[in-house]
Amino acid sequence: MEFLFIFLFILLAALFVTGGLVASRLVAPHRPGRVKNRPYECGNKSVGPAWVQFNVAYYLLALLFLVFDVEAAFLFPWALAFRGAGWVGFLEVLIFVGVLGVGLLYAWKKGALEWV
Amino acid sequence: MQIWSPLYRPSIWSFRTSIGNREVGMDMWQVTTLAARIQESLLNQDFVRAGIFLGGGLAATVAAVSLLGLVLVYAERKVAAHFQCRLGPMRVGWHGVLQPIADGIKLFLKEDIIPTEADRLLFVLAPFFCILGMFLAILVLPVSPEIQIIDLDMGVIFLAAVSGFGVFGVLLGGWSSNNKWSMLGAMRAAAQIVSYEVSLTLALLVVVMFSGSLKMSEIIQSQAAGWWIWRAHGVGLVAFLVYVIASVAELNRAPFDLSEGESELTGGFHTEYSGLRFGLFFLAEFINMVLASAFAATFFLGGWMPFHLGDWQAFNAVMDRIPPLLWFVGKTSFMVFLFMWFRWTFPRLRVDQLMALEWKFLLPVSLVNLLVGAAVVLSGFYFFS
């Protein structure tokens, strides 16, 4: 029943977007032009596509994010049951977080966190 | 009703404490959801009632989203104006209250341009992802004990998962535009959202740890003895601050709005969007601000719980008189105002400062905070049984 609602809301969002756009299509003007439909670059003619090689720092950031977000996902079960797990569980999580903390320090020292 | 416990400390700053307050909380508040009501109606073979609830719920959601969008556009402009000693919109209607409607009509009537060099499919899909993330987050929002659509057992995880849809919208919108400004804005926004997501999740984890549940209603009821922001000797307060900073960054709002910095990127990822498509991005952004505020209220400020002060029975009785819905609206409005306040208080950060703030400050702080919180609970300080 509850998951049915998730699908219903996905449909509702689709309907909200398409309904609005279709209604807007009916009343809004539609006069495309060759110059008008070019990418906007403050009046300059754009040189080449925007799909080019990008700064590698973003990739490093994505890797770091992956590590720490997965860490957070792994911590959720512990957070729910840590009263039962007690100090032993706490110690284990300390080791787990510690390993990732050392990883963060390593990335820090290597300069992965510096934005050039 | 007053709960007495041997651990009770007679001071105004110690809020009501009790052994096993979660069980007591269950008795105090009867929580129902829209899904539960529909299920009950279906079991009673009352299909008309089920249909009314379903249709009413969906219609109310759409109406609330549209209305909130209008109210927020107005509020944002008025608050901004008064911070700068201006009057803001004054012409359309009484004190300009009809201005957002005029703006909406304008957006509706504008031409919808899709650049020829854009990736059409992704360009069209991008606003949908932003709106989808917003609608799915509304699904688990506890507005009052009676008003909630579904109360998932893994509500917090669902929320964390769903809030990722916004990144898809931003990244797809920026990439598919085939415009250098959009591309730069989208990459910056994605990097920023993704980075602050980590601290945000860790801050929520503290609350999950204290309340021992992922269910929204149970998290609220675990705050019957005192809101999480005040408890655990400052751990709750630090988690709240981390949550607020991270959610301002997630919302791409000032002082973290450098992905849309109009002076640098002409608007960022939505440079190529016009008309209603742009309006949809805008709506999602505003509603997401309300949702971030609402969830801040839910996790740290007791949600729809009334404010109670120690053993001041008379005071508590007066507070109980105020309906939960009003409490929720009040706390959420306060948080929204706080976000608007930030915008006119802090200067915009640089990209390197932004990344340094997250990875070198907030992330270590929230990790240590989590562990300190666990240690506090395990060592059995006074407010946990």
**What is the DSSP code string of B254-302?**
TTS-TTS-HHHHTTGGGTT--HHHHHHHHHHHHHHHHHHHHHHHHHHS-
**Do B43 and B188 fall into the same domain?**
no
**Do B79 and B173 fall into the same domain?**
no
**Do B148 and B55 fall into the same domain?**
no
CATH superfamily to which A2-110 belongs: NADH:ubiquinone/plastoquinone oxidoreductase, chain 3 (1.20.58.1610)
Q: Best mutation site among B41, B150, B271 for testing chain A: the one with the most A CBs within 10 Å?
A: B150
- Residue B192 is encoded by which pair of tokens? 């920023």
Query: For chain A, what are the domain ranges?
Result: 2-110
Nearest CA in chain A to B164: A69
For chains A and B, what is the number of CB pairs under 8 angstroms?
189
Give the pLDDT score at B322: 82
**At a CB cut-off of 8 Å and minimum separation 6, what does B72 contact?**
B286, B287, B289, B290, B336
**Least CB–CB distance from B205: residue in A17, A72, A104:** A72
Q: Model confidence over A15-59: pLDDT tens digits?
A: 988 988 888 888 888 888 777 777 777 777 777 777 778 788 888
Give the pLDDT score at A82: 81
Kindly tell me the burial class for residue B105, based on how many C-beta atoms sit within 10 Å of its own C-beta (0-12, 13-18, 19 or more).
exposed
Sort out which chain A residues have CB atoms less than 8 A from B134's CB and list them. Answer: 13
At A111, the pLDDT band (50, 70, 90 cuts) reads confident
Is residue A88 within 8 angstroms of chain B, CB to CB?
no
Residue B178 lies in a domain: yes
**Do B189 and B312 fall into the same domain?**
yes
Residue B24 lies in a domain: no
Residue B23 lies in a domain: no
Give the pLDDT score at B261: 67
Alpha carbon of B90: minimum distance to chain A alpha carbons (Å): 27
Nearest CA in chain B to A87: B378
In the predicted model, residues of chain B with pLDDT beneath 50 are 1-27, 384-385
Nearest CA in chain A to B182: A50
Contact between residue B275 and residue B112 where contact means Cβ atoms under 8 Å apart: yes
Is residue A95 within 8 angstroms of chain B, CB to CB?
no
In the stretch 19-38 of chain A, residues with CB closer than 8 A to chain B read 20-21, 23-25, 27-32, 34, 36-38
> CB–CB of B377 and A69 under 8 A?
no
Radius of gyration of chain B (CA): 22
Give the pLDDT score at B11: 35
- Which of B92, B126, B142 is at the close of a domain? B92
Residue B185 lies in a domain: yes
> CB–CB of A83 and B180 under 8 A?
no
Q: Model confidence over B81-120: pLDDT tens digits?
A: 999 999 888 888 888 888 899 988 888 888 888 888 888 8
> CB–CB of B371 and A97 under 8 A?
yes
**Do B62 and B123 fall into the same domain?**
no
The number of distinct structural domains making up chain B is 2
Residue B342 lies in a domain: yes
**Do B189 and B330 fall into the same domain?**
yes
Sort out which chain A residues have CB atoms less than 8 A from B151's CB and list them. Answer: 2
Residue B215, φ and ψ in degrees, nearest 5: -85, 130
**Do B162 and B274 fall into the same domain?**
yes
Kindly tell me the burial class for residue B165, based on how many C-beta atoms sit within 10 Å of its own C-beta (0-12, 13-18, 19 or more).
buried
**Do B79 and B161 fall into the same domain?**
no
**Do B220 and B126 fall into the same domain?**
yes
**Do B68 and B128 fall into the same domain?**
no
The parent domain of residue B215 ranges over: 110-378
**Do B257 and B328 fall into the same domain?**
yes
**Do B275 and B151 fall into the same domain?**
yes
